[in-house]
Amino acid sequence: MDVGPRIRALRMERGISLSALARLAGVGKATLSGLENGVRNPTLETLYAITAQLGVPLTAVLSAPEQTPTVRGAAVGATLLEVFHDRDATYELYRMRVSPGPAQLSPAHQTGVTEHVTVFSGVLRAGPVDAPLTGGPGEYLRWTSDVPHSYAAVGEEQVRASLLLRYPRPSGKDG
Amino acid sequence: MDVGPRIRALRMERGISLSALARLAGVGKATLSGLENGVRNPTLETLYAITAQLGVPLTAVLSAPEQTPTVRGAAVGATLLEVFHDRDATYELYRMRVSPGPAQLSPAHQTGVTEHVTVFSGVLRAGPVDAPLTGGPGEYLRWTSDVPHSYAAVGEEQVRASLLLRYPRPSGKDG
DNA sequence: TCATGTCGTTCCGTAAACGGAACACCGGAG
DNA sequence: CTCCGGTGTTCCGTTTACGGAACGACATGA
């Protein structure tokens, strides 16, 4: 859970000093320094004050890498952003990154599961192994994942995309 | 930031007692009790131990509602999930809900901004006011948002969708 | 060279989050 | 009734995250 380095990176991106961010966020320099260096274990209040000042949601520094129960191969990393339910199904929304390299295979899921991918950057080749789809920035891919499917980046650029998994609610089962 | 009630709700869903969760998570009962009741301001370490034991990511209890700097009308609510940058643009990924009711208008954004919507449930009618698009579950809508545009739910069902805003990087500016 | 400003780290007293234990409460068994 | 095992809350001593101040390092300017 590398929140320290992430805070530091976000601060650096914005070109502001540790002292300045501490003052803006209303926290002590000692606090921010300790947090960035992983010496302290911040409270939620402290972390919120800082992320709010950086203009990012708490989730932006907390997308827990190892906690996320998901596909994780050599070239594909996915982070669970949100889970929600409605009458008919459960949805899981992921942020996904696919690095250039060999295609990442994913086995068949249960019947009725669909995958919805929106590509943000790079070019993604994904879908059923026997009929993969290709999409660039802004494009949308969808398939049923009851057959083996794969993900691969086309070209040298890392692919960023959102992935939505839809699991239909098993009829007659408990909820 | 109602993490206390959310933790309590998740615990209740699983039918386990405060004492049991505290023991499983390796935290004190006083800690968990104080956290659920909003009396204490937990450290990240404490919160992580508990959410991990509940089997949910930290983000599941932290999707900060009031922090999200966004469109918020009578019928449309959006929560910022993630912000990221690449060489050419800044992206903002939102989770969006549109309730039945009058269409929500959004003014024109700067030139070059595009909106990408993936509908999860319900039927959404959205896009430029003079040429809106319609999409149901699993469908994908896209338009350039340099003209006024609108969002509306078709029918009585609440619409859930993801919204991606892409802001091209102004040329000549450093990052 | 010396003064001044800002950088990030470290020191330190205070406030508060921590875990363990004691507590009041409740439902079931004897 | 008493005695248990369980609930969640409160008390309390310890640990630690907190902010302010002091610090050394570095850059700028007189």
CATH architecture for residues B76-168: Sandwich (2.60)
* Spatial CB neighbours of A52, under 8 Å, sequence gap ≥ 6: A25, B67
For an interface test with A, which of B39, B81, B98, B166 has the most A Cβ atoms less than 10 Å from its Cβ?
Answer: B81
Would you call B31 helix, strand, or coil by DSSP?
A: helix
Task: Strands of B25-139 (E only): list them.
Answer: 76-85, 89-98, 104-106, 114-121, 123-128, 133-135
Radius of gyration of chain A (CA): 19
Q: What is the pLDDT of residue A42?
A: 95
Q: How far apart are CA B120 and CA B157, in angstroms?
A: 12
- CATH of the domain spanning B3-62: 1.10.260.40
Identify the residue among B6, B59, B142, B166 best suited for mutation to test binding to A, counting A beta carbons within 10 A and taking the highest: B59
Query: Is the pLDDT score of A65 beyond 80?
Result: no
Instruction: Give the residue from B165, B57, B53 showing the smallest Cα distance to A92.
Output: B57
Asked if A56's CB is within 8 angstroms of B58's CB, the reply is no
What's CA B30's distance to the chain center, in Å? Answer: 31
Q: State pLDDT tens for residues B75-107.
A: 566 666 666 555 566 667 777 878 776 666 666
Minimal CA–CA distance to A49: which of A24, A15, A19, A30?
Answer: A24
Return the top range by mean pLDDT from A2-16, A100-114, A147-161, B16-30. B16-30
Mean pLDDT of chain B: 75
CATH 2.60.120.10 in chain A is located at 76-168
Q: How far is CA B34 from the centre of its chain?
A: 27
User: Is residue B68's pLDDT more than 50?
Assistant: no
Q: Is A128 helix (H, G, I), strand (E, B) or coil?
A: strand
ipTM confidence: 0.58
- Which regions of chain A carry the CATH code 1.10.260.40? 3-62
Mean pLDDT, residues B135-155 taken together: 78
